Amino acid sequence: MPPSRITSTEAPTGGWRTIRKVAPYLWPEGQTWVKQRVVFAMLFLLASKLVSVGTPFLYKAAVDVLSGEAAVDPAWMLGLGAAGLTVAYGLARVMTNGFQQLRDAIFARVGQRALRALALETFTHMHNLSMRYHITRKTGGLSRIIERGVKGVEFLLRFMLLSIGPLILELLMIAVVLYFVFDVWYLAVVAGTIAVYVWFTFKVTEWRVRIRKEMNDQDTDANQKAIDSLLNFETVKYFGAERREAERYDVAMAGYETAALKTSYTLAFLNFGQALLITCGLVAVMVMAAVGVGNGALTVGDFVMVNAYMIQITLPLNFLGTVYREIRQSLVDMGEMFDLLEQPAEVQDKPSAPDISVNGGALEFDDILFGYDAARPILKGVSLSVPAGRNVAIVGPSGSGKSTIGRLMFRFYDVNEGALRIDGQDVRDVTQESLHQSIGVVPQDTVLFNDSIYYNIAYGRPDATRAEVEAAARAARIHDFVLGLPDGYATQVGERGLKLSGGEKQRVGIARTLLKNPPILLLDEATSALDTETERDIQESLKAMGQGRTVITIAHRLSTVADADEIVVLEKGVITERGTHETLLEEGGRYASMWARQAAEAEEEKAA
């Protein structure tokens, strides 16, 4: 099942779940340096807010001195004149900003560490998920979910800790000042204004979050279509479908455009509503202060100080909608990513599973039943013994289950019933990593990384020396070809190896598997996509590669397996014939008819 997307009704619960999952990255066990940085960041945050809230007092004092209303300087003024108070005011503002920057600088490493740790965890988990999961996912959409989720971690930690928290602290401090320095009515007006402002902001932002989620869905869809189209570049060209693909992409982008416009319109509404509410509150407080100055209850400095506090409140509140929306969106994005992390791996190692010990590489398929879907079985009681060092070919029509046997060998899936053993060890009882190291695969279409030829061959064994890499290339008969290239082994192969021909890619794949040096070899339609001449050359390389190894060859073209030690005919998930090439031809059964048909087709091609 693909991970479910978080809807607006699920967001609060999902949001708290996400916060609980992120919290350990902020206060990790056994990493004192992270905790120390969080503590120091909080101390500088507190210092910044204390100085910030005290700064308007200096402003008030300077105004009172200049207006002549300060009959006696308060003790805390230290006898400073108007000029001295102005300088002190400037220093206080610098200190406020300085403490904020120190706070951000100290916390930056905490946020980046969390981002890196979660990105690594997600990347590792994606590789541990089963093939069944990956073949049902769309790579472009998946990469977008991971990208947004990982970025959301750092944002959530930084803004929740360094924006929402400080805003609440500053509002509480200012509330205390208003209550004790002025009177409760100032506090009531300011608190009422903030309450209505926050309610309006949150309501409109929740509406905007739903629109933003729609925009993200359209963005994911457009990105998936773009990546899918570019990965199938050749197919698009074959069918002259450039315009069709562009129109398909444009339809997805049109949906994104519509949602993005809604986002812009609602942002304008939010900004105007916020400005209206905060201005009403500001005007109300200023009118009260003006009346107080008029009747002598307040000084001009008090009037200025009230104005300064209202402006001080206004600035962070202006960002409240944006910060809240981004935090909500981060929770949604991260919720999707945590859904991925909670996807269980279908195939898992047993607790304390040992590494496999391969002595000769004998394979045993013991009455195997398997189906990708329970209602549609693929293999129906397959039993087959392959002695160590033997070459056994599995042939049959498409859909008979040939490639499924290869996937079960590599344990991409577990059998439903029966057992698959290597040297007597059930593959479900050993670690997947050791099993994968013991089997080398040459598939029908070797897919290469978008890197150099050297990197792709060395991928078989990263610790191999250059001499060993070149020896593997010689054995695969590609060394001379590589040396003839302008950049030699540093030649870039392009996306999925598209800069190389089919035969060249297969030889790189063979060299890579040779370098891995596995005791068991799986050739899964390794030459079926090649022309006859190239196939003949590759077959010689594969034959040499199989010396001393147990080889399972899955093939459609029978001429490539005629010299196998044993040939197994698989039809509709059941073994119907088995024996050597000569024996099966003498029996005149299914294999013989397949051989005759393919031989006739080859003669027709030759004649043509």
Average pLDDT for 45-59: 83
Selected residue with higher pLDDT from 543 and 158: 543
Share of the chain above pLDDT 90, in %: 15
Segments forming the whole domain that contains residue 369: 363-446+514-607
pLDDT, tens only, 258-278: 888 888 888 889 888 888 888
Average pLDDT for 99-122: 82
| Residue 532 clears pLDDT 80, i.e. is over it | no
| Band of pLDDT at residue 69, cut at 50, 70 and 90 | low
- The string of DSSP codes covering 27-87 is S-TT-HHHHHHHHHHHHHHHHHHHHHHHHHHHHHHHHHHHHT--SS--GGGTT--HHHHHH
CATH number of the domain enclosing 593: 3.40.50.300
Report the range of poorest mean pLDDT among 74-88, 352-366, 376-390.
74-88
Same domain for 327 and 422 = no
Average pLDDT across the chain, whole number: 81
Selected residue with higher pLDDT from 483 and 70: 483
pLDDT, tens only, 212-255: 778 878 888 888 888 888 878 778 887 788 888 888 889 888 88
| 395 close to 567: Cβ distance less than 8 angstroms | yes
| Band of pLDDT at residue 1, cut at 50, 70 and 90 | very low
Same domain for 572 and 442 = yes
| Residue 5 clears pLDDT 60, i.e. is over it | no
Share of the chain above pLDDT 70, in %: 88
| 102 close to 122: Cβ distance less than 8 angstroms | no
Domain membership of residue 350 (yes or no) is: no
Selected residue with higher pLDDT from 26 and 455: 455
| Band of pLDDT at residue 7, cut at 50, 70 and 90 | very low
Same domain for 435 and 572 = yes
Domain membership of residue 458 (yes or no) is: no
Per-residue model confidence (pLDDT) at position 608: 65
Domain membership of residue 475 (yes or no) is: no
Average pLDDT for 73-91: 68
Domain membership of residue 227 (yes or no) is: yes
Domain boundary among 341, 375, 406: 341
Per-residue model confidence (pLDDT) at position 2: 36
- The string of DSSP codes covering 203-215 is HHHHHHHHHHHHH
Average pLDDT for 480-499: 85
Per-residue model confidence (pLDDT) at position 134: 63
Per-residue model confidence (pLDDT) at position 4: 36
| Residue 11 clears pLDDT 70, i.e. is over it | no
Domain membership of residue 373 (yes or no) is: yes
pLDDT, tens only, 342-368: 777 778 888 889 999 998 889 999 999
Structure tokens at 340: 């991925």
| Residue 588 clears pLDDT 50, i.e. is over it | yes
Same domain for 173 and 79 = yes
Same domain for 201 and 133 = yes
Domain membership of residue 468 (yes or no) is: no
Residue type, 109: R
Same domain for 442 and 332 = no
List of residues 6+ apart from 147 with CB closer than 8 A: none
Same domain for 304 and 189 = yes
Secondary structure (3-state) at 526: coil
| Residue 14 clears pLDDT 60, i.e. is over it | no
Average pLDDT for 587-606: 84
Same domain for 91 and 20 = yes
| Residue 328 clears pLDDT 60, i.e. is over it | yes
| Residue 8 clears pLDDT 50, i.e. is over it | no
Same domain for 292 and 369 = no
CATH number of the domain enclosing 201: 1.20.1560.10
Domain boundary among 279, 311, 341: 341
Per-residue model confidence (pLDDT) at position 132: 66
- The DSSP code for 389 is T
Residue whose entry in the numeric block shows the structure tokens 């991260």: 334
Structure tokens at 523: 């050739």
Q: Which residues pair with 567 in a beta bridge?
A: 393, 579
Same domain for 406 and 334 = no
Average pLDDT for 61-86: 65
Same domain for 401 and 310 = no
Per-residue model confidence (pLDDT) at position 141: 60
Domain membership of residue 277 (yes or no) is: yes
Same domain for 334 and 373 = no
Per-residue model confidence (pLDDT) at position 9: 38
Domain membership of residue 495 (yes or no) is: no
| Band of pLDDT at residue 422, cut at 50, 70 and 90 | very high
Per-residue model confidence (pLDDT) at position 333: 73
Per-residue model confidence (pLDDT) at position 576: 92
Per-residue model confidence (pLDDT) at position 502: 79
Highest mean pLDDT among 51-60, 74-83, 475-484: 475-484
Per the structure, how many domains does the chain have? Answer: 2
